[in-house]
């Protein structure tokens, strides 16, 4: 997992796993998720504040790997 932050855009991107995004799902204006062709989560784009409820939704609705 890798995180990039664009200071100018005030946006973050979390690379969850290797893979090429095939589609993007907009969960809210400031939260988008990228999925590969097998619907595996490959990245999360954060464009501003995200309520805890929405962060939990990503964790439960998409296969987010857990760091060990």
| pLDDT tens per residue, range 15-33 | 999 999 999 999 889 999 9
Nearest-angstrom CA–CA distance, 9 and 39 = 27
pTM for this entry: 0.80
Nearest-angstrom CA–CA distance, 9 and 3 = 15
Are the C-beta atoms of 42 and 36 separated by less than 8 Å? Answer: yes
Residue 68 has pLDDT above 60, yes or no: no
> Which residues contact residue 17 at a Cβ distance below 8 angstroms, ignoring those fewer than 6 apart?
1, 40, 41, 42, 65
Nearest-angstrom CA–CA distance, 16 and 14 = 6
């Amino acid at each position: 997992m890798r995180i990039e932050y664009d200071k100018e855009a005030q946006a973050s991107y979390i690379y969850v796993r290797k893979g090429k995004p095939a589609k993007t799902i907009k969960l809210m204006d400031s939260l988008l998720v990228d999925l590969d062709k097998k619907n595996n989560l490959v990245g999360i784009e954060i464009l501003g504040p995200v309520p805890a409820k929405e962060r939990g939704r990503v964790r439960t609705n998409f296969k987010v790997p857990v760091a060990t």
